[in-house]
A and B are shown apart, each in its own frame.
Chain A
Amino acid sequence: MKARHRRFAWILVGLAALGVAVALVLNAFRSHLVFFFSPSQVIANEAPVGRPFRIGGLVQVGSIVRDTGSLTVRFVVTDTAKDVPVTYTGLLPDLFKEGKGVVAQGTLGPDGVFRATEVLAKHDENYMPPEAAAAIEQAHKGGQAKTLSR
């Protein structure tokens, strides 16, 4: 075998190895990098059983109940189709708010309550000054009032 052929063979071997590595990475993405499950998936038993996972969705408006005297908080995570109640003890991120995105890590109890060990806020990709946000809020409320009065 000439040196040139041997080098070519090494390049092929290297490429094959890299291809396998890429395939492994892609597979890891598909099976393990589902960062969170939606409440609908959790209700449909698609979330992993017996090990901690993350649940993601919106904090249902009016569902936050703070314990007096401790850092325990209860709220409901919703994807507007299904809801999952969550309890958590600890500090919440600044952006944790009703109607906003949330990702909580923990385990699902047999009673259907998700016991979170970590709560992260998931914000959207919109950036605007407070006045603009207030105007949108106002317009939204106005629209709702109109549909209600009709």
Chain B
Amino acid sequence: MAINWYHYASPATFHPLAGRLAAAFAWLAAALTAAGLWIGFVVAPTDATQGEAYRIIFIHVPTAWMAMFIYLVMAFWSALALGFNTRLSAMMAQSLAPTGALMALLALWTGAFWGRPTWGTYWAWDARMTSTLILLFLYLGVIALRNAIDDPRRADKACAVLTLVGAVNVPIIYFSVRWWNTLHQGASVSLTSAPKMATIMLTGMLVMTFACWFWCIAVALWRVQAIILERERGAGWVAALPAVRET
């Protein structure tokens, strides 16, 4: 069955669809968070080396993965926006930036509160942490650039270029623990080797990752609804929305 992508690429058709999708993803995220926290705090045993402090992994790794992944998704939408000049792709990229920034912030924050009891410090300028901090600043840079340019279509282009150039940082973060001597340990989970975690711990981490992922989708869809309304303010379909007519 062929999907008419151009149909869904129209803000007018996507606005109601985004609302329904966001609600579904938010419920899924809530259910998975409950399951993930149950596994992480009740079912999963304590860690042999780190004791209970390791339980931060169930929130640290999902937020760190999301911080990197959202940047790649943002780069994907930016490339589409630049290449095909599609309005909705640019709005998706615009919507993802604040969520990505918050995920990067949470990854750094939870990492600090995990590093203090295990390594003995909240912060160190090693390659993994420094490149994650650069990721946060890239997100903030994209948001700042967006706000600095009045014309939304020009802001789309400028932000897309900055996003694509900054994308080089993502592989640097991912491989930093292999390329350089870092305080941060290597990857426990990768595509190329067996996980270096007990199965139940890994399960908890993956469930929390999906919870985090679905939450990010939900909140980004809600935000893109607001962005569509902001940018299509004068359009007839916006004026005809029940929520606009009745208020």
Q: Is the CB of B185 within 8 A of A122?
A: yes
Interface of B is mostly: loop
Asked if B183 CB lies within 8 Å of chain A CBs, one says: yes
Q: Is the CB of B161 within 8 A of A14?
A: yes
Number of interface residues of A (CB under 8 A): 40
Q: Is the CB of B165 within 8 A of A127?
A: no
Most buried by B among A11, A37, A103, A125: A125
Q: Is the CB of A127 within 8 A of B188?
A: yes
Q: Is the CB of A29 within 8 A of B186?
A: no
Q: Which residues of B contact A25 (CB under 8 A)?
A: 134
Q: Is the CB of A127 within 8 A of B127?
A: no
* Minimum CB–CB distance for B185 against chain A, Å: 4
Asked if A126 CB lies within 8 Å of chain B CBs, one says: yes
Task: Report B116-153 CB contacts with A as 1/0, cut-off 8 Å.
Answer: 01111100111100110010000000000000000000
Q: Contact partner of A93 among B46, B118, B165, CB < 8 A?
A: B118
Q: Is the CB of B48 within 8 A of A35?
A: no
Asked if B104 CB lies within 8 Å of chain A CBs, one says: no
* Minimum CB–CB distance for A118 against chain B, Å: 8
Q: Is the CB of A120 within 8 A of B124?
A: yes
Q: Is the CB of B168 within 8 A of A120?
A: no
Q: Is the CB of A125 within 8 A of B49?
A: no
- A22-B165, A56-B181 given; A120·B198 CB < 8 A: no
Asked if B187 CB lies within 8 Å of chain A CBs, one says: yes
Q: Is the CB of B118 within 8 A of A34?
A: no
Q: Specify the chain A residue showing the minimal Cβ separation from B117.
A: A94
Q: Specify the chain B residue showing the minimal Cβ separation from A25.
A: B134
Q: Which residues of B contact A123 (CB under 8 A)?
A: 49-50, 118-119, 185
- A33-B125, A123-B119 given; A130·B46 CB < 8 A: yes
Q: Is the CB of A133 within 8 A of B48?
A: yes
- Considering the complex, which residues of chain A in the window 2-49 have a beta carbon less than 8 Å from any beta carbon of chain B? 11, 14-15, 18-19, 22, 25-26, 29, 33-38
List residues of chain A with CB under 8 Å of any chain B CB: 11, 14-15, 18-19, 22, 25-26, 29, 33-38, 56, 92-96, 100, 103, 118-134
Query: Known contacts A35-B126, A122-B183; can you find 5 more A-B pairs with CB under 8 A?
Result: A36-B183, A92-B120, A128-B197, A128-B198, A130-B48
What are 5 A-to-B residue pairs whose CB atoms are below 8 Å? A35-B126, A93-B119, A120-B119, A124-B185, A126-B197
List residues of chain B with CB under 8 Å of any chain A CB: 45-51, 54, 57, 117-121, 124-127, 130-131, 134, 158, 161-162, 165, 168, 172, 180-183, 185-188, 196-198, 201
